[in-house]
Structure 1
Amino acid sequence: MSSYAAVLRTPHACRAFAVGLLGRLSYGVVPLALVLAVKEGSGSYAVAGSVMALFGVSGVLLSPVRAGLVDRYGPRRALVPMAGGYAALLVVIAGVCLRGGASGVELCVLAGAAGTCTPPLGPTMRALWSELLPDRRMLETAYSLDGVCEELLFVGGPLLVGALVQYAHPATAIALGAALVLAGTVGMTGSPAVRGMGGGEQAERDGARGAWGAPWRPALVAAGVGVGLGGVDLLVIAFADGQGRPSVVPWLLAALSVGSTVGGLVNGAVRWGGSARGRLAPLAAGLAGALALAGFVPDPYLMAVALALAGLFVAPALTTAYLYADELATPGTRTRAGAWVNTAVNAGSSGSSAAVGLVLGQLPLALCFVLAGVPALGSALAVRASRGARAGVPRPESVTRVDPREPRSTAGR
């Protein structure tokens, strides 16, 4: 715990992190609220599915582009307009749903536009950690804390929506998501820690050298992890149905989340040796092995254990992928590099959900579990075998922290 306390004692870091999490809670609230509100407002599951698809695709695929704007212009100039547009569009969607009889085309256009404006608060916060914590060990602890908190937000967000819709129209939850992201973004960009972050000639030079700034190795492993995670929901539902106990599904998925939380906390507290790249492959392979094991367990109790074991690898693998991407990034592409990893996870998860839906029932369930882990194992082997990666400038084990209130130099990084 002393490691986490040391990270949070970094001047201005706790404030920026806390208000940033407030804004990121919106990303746990809005998806479920959007589905419920659109279904109620349009009366159509097909419209709700189309709206969510456009919202998700525009949000995920354009994330590196938006992150590049943060790198080039800085969080204060880039994030606030994005958050303002995102929040405004969410409020319009909420109003349309409240009105009832909403046009599917109208809702799809609004949802696609809202996804396009989604501010990359997570990648920006990870880039900010990198600015505040030149010490590599402290940075890894910060990334672990960030990942665990983000996971809790995605668990707590739907619970908050579920409680709210008991007393109000689901569109109210969309409006809440708009308020959260706007308040969190303004609070985060108003922190002294953000002053001087991003923008300037360095960012323009880095952007010119690599317009997309894609760190393919960590992104590849992140995509493999996303594939494994994306298929778990359907696989667990199929397992529970086969056992005749559909009520255990929430508990089994909770076991995965608990395992991930524990794994993330341990990962951030332990002083690991070696490079992030060296640890990334074993973590992804461990996830693949745990998913394969889950396919052969005979009852829900052992399935919960197997999923908790798989979860132990999830948060550490993603944290290490973000750390590796940060090592590969230049000072002017840090936010974008993290956004590519985030995009890879979400893209892998979405693609896996569709693929598992197609093969489930056509293949034995045990084989489906094994196949869900194959991309994670394959990406791990590919990264392990790859050579010639630009390692970036290694971080010192311990250096004097730069005061965020003073102008930052990019020398030595």
Structure 2
Amino acid sequence: MSAPVSSRPSHARRPSYAAVLRVPHARPTFLAALAARLSYGTVSLSVLLSVTGASGSYAVSGLVMALFGATVVVLLPVRATLVDRYGPRRALPPMAAVYSALLCLLAALTWRPGAPPAALAVAAALTGCVAPPLGPTMRAVWGRLVDDPALLRRAYSLDGVAEELLFVSGPALVGLLLRFGPPPTGLLLSAVLMPAGTCVFVMSPAVRGAVPPKNPKREAGRPPGRFPAAPVVAAAGLGLALSAADLLVMAFAERRSYGAGVVPWVLAALSAGSAVGGLLNGAVEWRRPAGERLAWLTVGLGVALAAAGLAPGLWTLAGAMAVAGVFVAPTLTTAYLLADETAAEGERTRAGAWVNAAVNAGSSGGSVVAGLLVGRLSVGVCFALAGGVALATAVAVRAVLRLRMGGGWSRPRGGSRTSGTAPRP
């Protein structure tokens, strides 16, 4: 995927979030990608509500959601490889069209009660198989649009915060739709958003100029990029720790008799902290290399989660979760930047997809483990264990970087960059 569109030198001298959006073609391309990615913010809750209403069984809805999430996550690197190999214009529209058609099929199956569970499971699994990797593709486009590392960090931070907001606003939008129609209406909305946003996205000059290399395994005689081990380890640990924290907030509220209604507010504090942390991460001029920052960010997350287990009441817990959130978006953004730096030009979408898949896989695993432990241990101990996972992740990240890069970090691509810099396809 070549033919980069460089950022202007003035942006490099005065990097800011406004400068990111002033990069030629960046704003319309980003907005189109966000419109398509909003489909992922609305689809999970829509699938859950639709399948539950049609089947009348939480067991069936849980199975269908598990199949949908598994196929999205497991096959994400495969779909990203197709984008790298054939280019976004050839790979993404067919995926979006099939994805939309399968969502319409699932909406038709769930419109009335009595849908066969097997049909629901197959439709959901197939839908997950073709979910377009819009997030990794957009991050690869940012890498071509922006040459300056400081400005690229801001672009990635802006992208991460926007994605966080999509996964907050998406369920709210589904809730609004429920006032006017049945739950499958949310599936139809998701089916419209994806192909519409994707079509506008691939028609952008920034994406039209992205053509696959003649040989995706080697670009300009260079060996293929390394597997992004350190970013993948960090993302998996982040997902593992955070998914456990979500369940532990629910357990905290239940055992202190606060009621389930307070849980969304505590989790909203986590999301708000993540948004603030993401914006700050992009605004700060970091001097330490990205690999070192990644390790320290996971340390901060671990300490904050462990401290949350000591909270005497709801407001203290909300404050601790907000502090933990400050480290979430920067950790994920830095992981994406590291993956991008190590990838060859024709493999950047796949490198980002590995990080994306890792955080989703870690999230699924964390929910299972936390569910087993929360009934046997106190909430405080479980929070400490979640924090310990993040701290162990920091150690693992440092170990991987030392092992694979001789104790340092930096393999800039083409000399233009230096060091320092629910399923979410």
- Common fold by TM > 0.5: yes
CA distance in 2, matches of 1:323, 1:55: 28
CA distance in 2, matches of 1:39, 1:12: 42
Q: Unpaired runs of 5+ in structure 2?
A: 1-13, 419-425
Match among 319, 322, 336 for residue 308 of structure 1 = 322
Match among 276, 279, 294 for residue 280 of structure 1 = 294
Does the residue aligned with 2:286 lie in a helix, a strand or coil? coil
1:403 corresponds in structure 2 to: none
- The percentage of aligned residue pairs carrying the same residue is 54
The question of 1:45 aligning with 2:45 is answered no
The question of 1:190 aligning with 2:207 is answered no
Match among 404, 418, 421 for residue 389 of structure 1 = 404
1:365 Cα deviation from its structure 2 partner: 1.1
1:66 corresponds in structure 2 to: 79
1:377 Cα deviation from its structure 2 partner: 1.4
1:383 Cα deviation from its structure 2 partner: 1.8
The question of 1:126 aligning with 2:143 is answered no
CA distance in 1, matches of 2:369, 2:225: 28
Match among 162, 175, 180 for residue 193 of structure 2 = 180
Offset from partner CA, 1:344-393 (integer Å, 9 cap, x none): 00000110001100110201211100111222211211222332435432
Q: Is the 8 A contact 2:38 2:170 kept in 1?
A: yes
Match among 13, 32, 36 for residue 23 of structure 1 = 36
1:32 corresponds in structure 2 to: 45
1:140 Cα deviation from its structure 2 partner: 0.4
Q: Is the 8 A contact 1:292 1:370 kept in 2?
A: yes
Runs of 4+ residues deviating >4 angstroms: 208-213
CA distance in 2, matches of 1:197, 1:278: 32
Q: Unpaired runs of 5+ in structure 1?
A: 399-413
Offset from partner CA, 1:47-96 (integer Å, 9 cap, x none): 11111110000001110000000001000000111101100000000011
Q: Is the 8 A contact 2:224 2:344 kept in 1?
A: no
Does the residue aligned with 2:394 lie in a helix, a strand or coil? helix
The question of 1:269 aligning with 2:283 is answered yes
The question of 1:229 aligning with 2:230 is answered no
Equivalent position amino acid for 2:33 in 1 = G
1:145 corresponds in structure 2 to: 158
Q: Is the 8 A contact 1:234 1:353 kept in 2?
A: yes
1:216 Cα deviation from its structure 2 partner: 1.1
Query: What are the within-5 Å matches in structure 2 for residues 152-167 of structure 1?
Result: 152-167=165-180
Query: What are the within-5 Å matches in structure 2 for residues 78-89 of structure 1?
Result: 78-89=91-102
1:348 corresponds in structure 2 to: 362
The question of 1:322 aligning with 2:332 is answered no
* TM-score, normalisation: structure 1: 0.93
Equivalent position amino acid for 2:382 in 1 = C
**CA RMSD, Structure 1 to Structure 2 (Å):** 1.9
1:397 Cα deviation from its structure 2 partner: 6.2
1:2 Cα deviation from its structure 2 partner: 6.3
Q: Is the 8 A contact 2:26 2:206 kept in 1?
A: yes
CA distance in 2, matches of 1:383, 1:64: 21
CA distance in 2, matches of 1:385, 1:55: 34
Equivalent position amino acid for 2:263 in 1 = V
CA distance in 2, matches of 1:76, 1:9: 23
* TM-score, normalisation: structure 2: 0.90
**Structure 1 residues 326 and 4, CA, compared in 2 at 3 Å: closer, same or farther?**
same
Q: Is the 8 A contact 1:198 1:332 kept in 2?
A: no
The range that moved more, 111-120 or 271-280, is: 271-280
1:209 Cα deviation from its structure 2 partner: 9.1
Q: Is the 8 A contact 1:58 1:112 kept in 2?
A: yes
Equivalent position amino acid for 2:315 in 1 = Y
Does the residue aligned with 2:24 lie in a helix, a strand or coil? coil
Match among 121, 137, 140 for residue 108 of structure 1 = 121
CA distance in 2, matches of 1:70, 1:369: 39
CA distance in 2, matches of 1:343, 1:264: 20
1:138 Cα deviation from its structure 2 partner: 0.7
